[in-house]
Structure 1
Amino acid sequence: MTKPKQPNECENVYDFLDQVRLRPGMWVAGSSLTHLDSMLRGYRVAMEVHGAKEALPFWAPGEDTPFDSWLNERNGRASSLRWSTQIEREAKATGIPAIELFFTLLDQFRAESQ
């Protein structure tokens, strides 16, 4: 089981997201995936500012991200909506908390992407 860490102890975006999974209420206001998406965009900006190199499947300037593309394929249709909005809509339709559905899908994405 993953144990709580300080942000500077995280090795990559997945390590950081494991911290969010442990305590989503601490990291993501209202468990909103839109807020999580914004946080991950900030993560990407910080990487650029500091010259860090890391494959980040949640942000790609001017194109679908790998996670967006995977989600569209999973859903069997193209969408111009960001992954966060797509998952929030699916969560509302199925009655599953959006943050819970996100982590389920993230686990599937990671398993299929390796």
Structure 2
Amino acid sequence: MTIDSDHDDFKHWQQCTDVYDFLHQIRLRPGLWLRKESLHDLQSILVGYRVALGVHDVEEPFPFWPENAFTDWLHEQKGMSSSLGWAAEITRTTPDGATPLSEFFRLLDAYRAQNDQQPSG
């Protein structure tokens, strides 16, 4: 249901078409999905998302699994490799004045722009 014209992008999670569309909904209303905008909560949600894809045999590109494209890209961007996972790595290296969640979405936008991935939804 649309609340007003500023919220036209809001939709129920069941209407999301892929992980990027789902992440857009989280970006719009992080407090609905994440305790204290925790990046670790976001990573847990995405692990569940990936497991559900596998359980239901759904083929969908998913770069957020620990040893996958987003993590590899992040290691390349940061010039380091870590076994901590992307949430811990982003949290640890978030610049002053930013939050780990805002840094994640900044990096996600850069990742998608570099990989020529168009927004969903």
Q: Give the gaps of 5 or more residues in structure 1.
A: none
**Aligned twin of 2:11:** 5
Distance 1:15 1:37 in 2: 16
What is the number of residues matched between the two proteins? Answer: 110
**Aligned twin of 2:36:** 30
Let me know the Cα RMSD of the aligned residues.
Answer: 1.4
Distance 2:97 2:9 in 1: 29
Q: Which has the higher contact order (CA 8 A, sep 6+)?
A: 2
Q: Deviations over 1:39-70 (max 9, x none)?
A: 0000011111111110100015xxx2211110
Q: How does 1:1-114 map to 2 (within 5 A)?
A: 3-59=9-65, 64-91=67-94, 93-114=95-116
Aligned sequence identity (%): 45
Distance 1:100 1:18 in 2: 12
Distance 1:33 1:66 in 2: 18
CA shift at 1:95, angstroms? 3.3
Higher helix share: 1
List 4+ stretches of structure 1 deviating above 4 A: none
Q: Give the gaps of 5 or more residues in structure 2.
A: 1-5, 117-121
Distance 1:30 1:5 in 2: 22
